[in-house]
Amino acid sequence: MTTVEAFQAAFDAAVAADERIEPRDWMPEAYRASLVRQMAQHAHSEIIGMQPEANWITRAPSLRRKAILMAKVQDEAGHGLYLYSAAETLGTSREELLDKLHTGRQKYSSIFNYPTLTWADVGAIGWLVDGAAITNQVPLCRCSYGPYARAMVRICKEESFHQRQGYELLLTLSKGTPAQHEMAQDAVNRWWWPSLMMFGPPDDASAHSAQSMAWKIKRHSNDELRRRFVDICVPQAESLGLTLPDPDLRWNEELGRYDFGPIDWSEFQQVLKGNGPCNEQRLDRRRRAHEEGAWVREAAAAYATKHGARPGRPGEHPPEGRPAGRTHRERPEKPAEETGTRAEETGTHVEAAV
Amino acid sequence: MTAPWHSAALALGDDALVLSHRLGEWAGRAPVLEEEVALANIALDLLGQARILLSLVGDEDELAYLRDERSFRNLHLVEQPGGDFAHTIARQLYFSTYQRFLYERLASSDSEFTALAAKAVKEVAYHQDHAEHWTLRLGDGTAESHERMRRACEALWTFTAEMFQPVEGLDAVDFPALEERWLDSVASVLERATLTVPDGPRSRAWTAGAGRQGLHTEPFGRMLAEMQHLHRSHPGASW
Amino acid sequence: MSNQGDWPLWEVFVRSRRGLSHTHAGSLHAPDAEMALRNARDLYTRRNEGVSIWVVESAAITATSPDEKDPFFAPAADKPYRHPTFYEIPEGVKHL
């Protein structure tokens, strides 16, 4: 057996045994590329996904809702950060990934190319879009790549707050004045089908699905997750007192699940190609934020260099992801407290300030 | 609204409410993702303070959404629109330094605000720390950032005297002493940031104390129009 | 686009409560250590999950490489006498 074959065998065995692959393990190039693509797309979705909701922060109709919405949009920035970090363990810097987003070489979830036209859209996004995302993401907590799985554990914990607040928001509207009820119904009408599209193309048309499942990056097929989501949503919609805009939706006694109508995949393809209602607007705003922030990032970097506040070598990235990887042992545990000096000297330790 | 401390609660509550709103405008636009999180934390702290303060006086939503411009008691400093990141940092430096010293004082004297101030002062200390760190980095970063920070500090300087006009219901606060402390603290940060203390006037013809009297600058009306529109469009509705 | 503004990557360790060790929480970018600590506080403890934070620049960590797994960790695996379950204690002996 050649070395590569031996590595491949070890990798396959680890995946088969449900062990996690960690950053510096050998992995097939295609596995690495597939992971970077998926994690990047996921991270981009989080930060582009801030925009449709941030659209309502300044108009939130009560102070309680305003606080909740700010916290939610903040979480999305945080989720983006966790995911970029996970992607960076494979040796691709956040700067590179952002550049690919800004130049259209990497995608984000098409759902965020739909506009938030009313306040109820904030609720619909929480209930349906975050609900679909959770259905997609919970299995990712067991994804074969360790850093991705760990990021997802943290994210899923926080996402359930997002979904519940959306549901509660819609419930309040649905039970409110007739105008509020109508607003809620209208939002659900507009967001239902795009949410179903979030699970991706049908299994027989999905380019990456089969391989991703074999690698245990993905655990369930697109159609399987989509069906699961529909089954969850139908009774939830009933409790909301709202209807789902699908005349074909009915319980199938034989299969023990809901049948639903055909999805308009031509719309999905159009939005994916850039012809959605907000594609340009979302990307433009993201690019502008990045460009307008350049002077700030440069200023902080210049300050750090001037004041020697950066212990490492500026701008240096370990070639194979991180850590830098020499052949020494890991640093002994508890570096700061036991010696009592290092932390204070470098100012990198804070106790009880959080 | 009768007791003198009611007007104080409104003044402090409106400051926090309006500044939180302005910081919320950064969502999705911050210079770097880490800063999205930081600015949102500060905005959320301030909104929390605003809700407690307004609730001392009445229903928080009625006060936030159904008062007209002339009934708001916030400072002109906090209502100024956007500007670049340097403007945000300069405003945070000026305001959080003021708020910290004020709340320290309130936390140590016995009033309706003691408990609130004791909790808020920890949050505000963090806001001040954030502003200070960024002032140093922008002032002493690149030539461009230095210039932007200088301009921002000067532009907002004219709104800083207003903070030290006596507020009805805060009789325990020695505002002239507070102002002296504020000037020392801000000057020291600016100096470390290689910036100079602006030499322009710290108030305009009728601006000193005007916000506290309900006289605001033009952009504030548009801010309120945006903030209140949805709530006012559905009278009596719950959200 | 300029790369002058690229900030290095930092690893974040959080002590979630007193009595526990710091645990790796994730990473983030920051221009320097002071800002890294603040960013870490905002990001990884915004739901009160911590009492203490360490940050260290990722490039400063030296780690074992997976290929060395055997020489590094194998010797310990055949030393069962390091584990308490190796020793049989007569019944009735307490506090041991």
Q: Which residue type, as a one-letter code, is found at position A72?
A: K
The complex's ipTM works out to: 0.97
Q: What is the pLDDT along chain A (354 residues), one digit of tens a residue?
A: 678 888 899 899 999 998 999 988 899 999 999 999 999 999 999 999 999 999 999 999 999 999 999 999 999 999 999 999 999 999 899 999 999 999 999 999 999 999 999 999 999 999 999 999 999 888 899 999 999 999 999 999 888 889 999 999 999 999 999 999 999 999 999 999 999 999 998 988 776 677 888 888 887 889 999 999 999 999 999 999 999 999 999 999 999 999 999 999 999 889 988 889 999 999 999 999 999 999 999 999 999 999 986 544 444 443 344 443 333 333 333 333 333 333 333 334 444 333
| Mean pLDDT along residues C69-88 | 71
- The pLDDT-based confidence of C67 (bands split at 50, 70, 90) is low
In this prediction, residue A342 carries a pLDDT of: 35
- Listed by start position, the domains of chain B span 4-233
- CATH number for the domain harbouring residue C9: 3.10.20.520
| Mean pLDDT along residues C17-25 | 93
Count the residues in chain C.
96
In this prediction, residue A224 carries a pLDDT of: 92
CB contact under 8 A, B28 and A65: no
Report the domain count for chain C.
Answer: 1
Question: What is the rounded CA–CA span in Å between residue A131 and residue B219?
Answer: 39
CB B29 within 8 A of CB A51: no
Between A and C, how many residue pairs show a Cβ–Cβ distance under 8 A? 151
The domain over range B4-233 is classified in CATH as 1.20.1260.10:
yes
- The pLDDT-based confidence of C39 (bands split at 50, 70, 90) is very high
Dihedral Cα B52, B55, B57, B59, nearest 10 deg: 150
Q: Is B235 on the interface with A (CB under 8 A)?
A: no
Q: What is the pLDDT along chain B (239 residues), one digit of tens a residue?
A: 468 899 999 999 999 999 999 999 999 999 999 999 999 999 999 999 999 999 999 999 999 999 999 999 999 999 999 899 999 999 999 999 999 999 999 999 888 999 999 999 999 999 999 999 999 999 999 999 999 999 999 999 999 999 999 999 998 899 999 999 999 999 999 999 999 999 999 998 776 779 999 999 999 999 999 999 999 999 999 99
In this prediction, residue A321 carries a pLDDT of: 41
The strand ranges marked E within chain A are 250-252, 257-259, 349-351
C77 located within any domain: no
Among candidates C4, C53, C63 on the partner chain, residue whose Cβ is nearest the Cβ of A354: C53
Among candidates A119, A286, A297 on the partner chain, residue whose Cβ is nearest the Cβ of B31: A297
Structure tokens at B54: 């307004």
In this prediction, residue A197 carries a pLDDT of: 95
Q: Is A14 helix (H, G, I), strand (E, B) or coil?
A: helix
Among candidates A93, A301, A317 on the partner chain, residue whose Cβ is nearest the Cβ of C31: A301
Question: What is the rounded CA–CA span in Å between residue A222 and residue A226?
Answer: 6
Distance from chain centroid for Cα B165: 15
Task: Determine the distance in angstroms separating the CA of C42 from the nearest CA of chain B, rounded to an integer.
Answer: 6
In this prediction, residue B232 carries a pLDDT of: 98
pTM: 0.89
Q: Is B145 on the interface with C (CB under 8 A)?
A: no
C89 located within any domain: no
C71 located within any domain: no
Chain B hits for A64, CB-CB cut-off 8 Å, are 51, 239
Task: Choose among B199, B34, B226: nearest CA to C9.
Answer: B34
In this structure, what DSSP letter does residue C7 have?
P
Neighbours of B55 (CB within 10 A): 15
In this prediction, residue C79 carries a pLDDT of: 77
CB contact under 8 A, B65 and A62: yes
In this prediction, residue B160 carries a pLDDT of: 96
In this prediction, residue A160 carries a pLDDT of: 82
CB contact under 8 A, A299 and B238: no
C8 located within any domain: yes
Structure tokens at A6: 């031996």
Higher pLDDT, B146 or C48: B146
**Which structural domain, as residue segments, surrounds residue C39?**
4-65
C25 located within any domain: yes
Q: Is C43 on the interface with B (CB under 8 A)?
A: yes
C95 located within any domain: no
The 3-state DSSP composition of chain A as helix, strand, coil percent (nearest 5) reads 65, 5, 30
